[in-house]
Amino acid sequence: MSSEFRKDLLSDKWVIVLNNNYSFIPDTDSKLNFKSLPEYDKNCPFCPGNENKTKFSILEFKNGDKWCVRVIPNNKPYLKVETNLKRYTKDIFTIINGTGANEVIIETPVHNVDFDEMKEEDIDLVIKAYKERFLDLKKDERLEYIIILKSRGVKAGSYIPHLHSQLVAFPVVPPLISEEITEAENYYKIKNNCVYCDMIKSEIKLDERVVLMNEHFICISPFASRVSFELMILPREHKFHFYDINEKELKNLSSLLKETIYKLNKALGFSAYNMILHTAPVKLKNLEYYHWHIEILPKLKNFSGFEQATGLFINSVTPEETTKYLKRI
Ligand SMILES: [Zn+2]
Ligand SMILES: [Zn+2]
């Protein structure tokens, strides 16, 4: 088994990539077949009929009298929209009270499906719901950043199998995003180009890590993938705000997401995963160097002790190999 250090262009961090083809077989612990669950679960707070278990709907898209997508407030919010933003110091320490928004997007009325089994039109509505919540929340002067995070499976941090995402809006820019923006800015100062645009160009030219591509979007296995089968979806054109997505791009994204999740589920036997939408801070304008994207991180092996100790991820299979594997599906 050989190994190499790879530098991630986007974070300026090193990753150790092992050239170990045997690790393709996912460990059985991470197998979580959502499809073995029933289509409806009377105890699930997100299934139709249990709407009274949630306070109210912030947004609903309906087909006839039935909802297809519902956005609700998180029932245990750690950030609250109703509070007044207060920033203060205590001696040398800075505090902001827990202001923000904490919402849940229920992405389908069906208990046991993921994007791979949903109709593209229904995924369109999910992305439309993301966009509408961004457009509404960005009007709130107190908020600096909005993130959408999906956790699939217990290993990824979610105990409810019904397909949903969390939206969290913050009065600060989260550290990982600030780091990405700083790195992108550093690259821009030297090359006068967006690092993400350059990366897309290079990935298409090399054609070793492109899993899927359509007119407006591309899905790649990042060069310095932190975990096996990590994926990144980006708009092919330079766009920094997710909320600027237009109708045509939205449809392209739905179809690419459906196919991506299909391949991932087939390859990994329904592994737990996180899907995270990274976009520019809501108030920033004319950002030449930052490019919105979606990161998909399957939860397979756990090297967390090592990662926490060193900040170095160890990935047990090369992204070139996983790309080949995913393309065959
Ligand atoms: Zn359910
Ligand atoms: Zn770009």
pLDDT tens sequence across 43-63: 999 999 999 888 789 999 998
The confidence score (pLDDT) of residue 234 equals 98
- pLDDT surpassing 70 at residue 202: yes
- pLDDT surpassing 60 at residue 18: yes
- Ligand 1 centroid to Cα of residue 78, in Å, is 23
- Class of the CATH domain delimited by 2-328: alpha beta
pLDDT greater at residue 186 or residue 307:
186
The confidence score (pLDDT) of residue 25 equals 54
- pLDDT surpassing 60 at residue 30: no
CA dist., res. 93 & res. 99, Å (int): 18
Report the sign of the C-alpha dihedral through residues 28, 34, 38, 41, in that order: positive
* pLDDT mean over 83-101: 90
- Ligand 1 centroid to Cα of residue 235, in Å, is 31
Half-sphere exposure of 225 (CA within 13 A, CB side): 26
Q: Where is 77: in which H helix or E strand?
A: none
Do β-strands 293-298 and 273-278 pair in parallel, antiparallel, or remain unpaired? antiparallel
- Ligand 1 centroid to Cα of residue 6, in Å, is 41
The confidence score (pLDDT) of residue 8 equals 94
Residues with CB under 5 A from ligand 1 (ion): 41, 44, 46-47, 111, 162
Give the ligand whose atoms come closest to the C-alpha of residue 43.
1
pLDDT greater at residue 322 or residue 311:
322
Q: Where is 180: in which H helix or E strand?
A: helix 175-191
Q: How many residues does the chain have?
A: 329
Give the ligand whose atoms come closest to the C-alpha of residue 47.
1
Amino acid at 61: F
- Ligand 2 centroid to Cα of residue 10, in Å, is 12
